[in-house]
Chain A
Amino acid sequence: MNGGADQIRAELARQGIAVTDDDLAMITTIVAANRAALARVPAGAVEDPEVSHGFLPPAPPAEPPAVPADDAAPHAGR
């Protein structure tokens, strides 16, 4: 969800929450403000999570994969 009003209405509807236009306007404002504030947290101020059993996700490849995006999807079944 990127936070547009239509998407928020759809998400709320999916969860069974009916909202009026006024509700939606305020909810969209609150969500957008909190997301913007979260995005403003300075890079580097927050440490990566410590993983107790030593696993770290592999680093992303330096170059994008040389296959079309659809073919690279996990479900492509190559």
Chain B
Amino acid sequence: MAVDLAYTSLTELGRLLDARKVSPVEIVRAALERIERYNGRLAGYITVCGEAALAAARRAEQEITGGGGRRTRLHGLPIAHKDISLTKGVRTTAHSRCLIEHVPDRDATHVRRLAEAGMIMLGKTNTTEFACGTMDLFGIARNPWELSRYTGGSSAGSASALAAGMAPAATGSDTGGSIRVPASFCGIVGLKPTYGRVSRYGLIPLSWSMDHVGPMARTVADCALLLNTMAGHDPLDPTSARTPVPDFTDGLDAGVRGMVLGVPKQHFYERLEPEVDAAARAALRHLEGEGARLEPVDLPLVGHIAGPGGILIMAEAYGLHARQLRERAADYGDRTRRRIASGACYTSGEYEAATRVRVAWTRQAARALERVDAIVTPTLPHAAFTVEVQKAGEPPDTSWGTRHFNLSGHPALTLPCGFTAAGLPIGMQLAGRYFDETTLFRIAHAYERSTPWHGRRPAVGEAVS
């Protein structure tokens, strides 16, 4: 058939399955062929579950064609999981020598829910070590738009796999921007949901108060579809919320007419690379053209979050890793070991002071979001930098625009809003009210359907004719 299955959206693949125009086996094969062709140069996957995925696809095909049809909108569709989510019987390394032979005896809750919905796991995607270090052991994930460029971290392999057509859906985790940063660098869509919206049970933790699990995909609608299944209360995660889960795909087409979008006065539109600045302002004008009203919002603390955020994340990470650092320091990568060990050096007074800044910032953001439907920002002040820059010393602070909403717990989504002249993606971030992911999806979908960016394809290192 003429459809390029590797770049067909999850939603459209579902329609094709419903119409019996394609089978789960064909969809999985298309992804595996891309993995076979490109994973060597991209290092998007740490572990590929080819045979198991094909066997699961054959079972799904029998279930679907056996008279029952698809039992959910995700049934028969493939997904890749970040290698920091526990997967029963499948090695889960967190890209660390500490866990090199770690085969869990259980699934993370989000992995289990997606599997119960009928999704087929393609494999485990690359991540920075324990979601905060480097990618030394299995190689550094490469950006399909330009192989010399970094993907961003830590959900690096998920973003790379999606952009390269090696998966139509993926999961990620986000402690300071680890879904949104690689999604922005690789030109795909990623959502950090509200804190408590998606269970973290079975996620190898970094920072208990800032870790989030969320969906990554090539379209907004696909992220909404995945969140439908990932979200919901989980008694195994004490921070999981009991808030009802709507159908996040409802109202996607409602547009932004009459909506009020907040544009921060501070930080987010300062000192941007010129091409990012132009793309971000063009995106604002586009949303205005679609009927939204732009409203400046005052966020005086927004430029003062990096230090307190760093203290809180690393103090919590050290709390989790202290024993292992004492016993197996040499099994950590240098940067991972040093970053986590830094968390041992703060006093309780500093942790308390950082927490007060966090509380004040959270109130500030929540007050702003009482007046606007969402806050719109660039996701990063620049496009993807090179792998060499990432490897050298301390690379640029990629959490520049994202960690704010880990500290506050608000949901935040990134989607492509343009490309640089060199062909690198630029991302726009939307942050919304607690448990109002629906509004973020609606705004993002209105932007996506009226712009061409999500339709572009990377060359993945091959000559473009």
Q: Which residues of A contact B (CB under 8 A)?
A: 1, 3, 8, 11-12, 15-19, 22-23, 26-27, 29-31, 33-38, 40-42, 45-47, 49
Contact = CB atoms under 8 A, between A and B. Distances in A.
Contacts of B334: 22-23
Which interface class (under 10, 10 to 19, 20 to 34, 35 or more) fits B?
A: 20 to 34
Contact of B329 (A1, A18, A27): A18
Interface of B: 300-301, 304, 306-308, 310-311, 314, 322, 325-326, 329, 334-335, 337-339, 341-342, 344-347, 350, 353-354, 356-357, 359-360, 394
Given A17-B325, A34-B307, A40-B304, A1 B347 contact: yes
Given A17-B329, A46-B356, A47-B360, A31 B342 contact: yes
Contacts of A26: 335, 338, 342, 394
Contacts of A3: 345
Nearest to A50: B359
Given A37-B308, A38-B308, A38-B353, A27 B341 contact: yes
Nearest to A41: B304
Nearest to B344: A15
Contact of B350 (A15, A18, A30, A35): A35
13 contacts: A1-B347, A16-B326, A19-B338, A23-B337, A27-B341, A31-B346, A37-B304, A38-B353, A41-B301, A41-B307, A42-B300, A45-B300, A45-B304
Nearest to B330: A18
B356 A12 contact: no
B344 A11 contact: yes
Contacts of A33: 307, 310
Contacts of A19: 338, 341
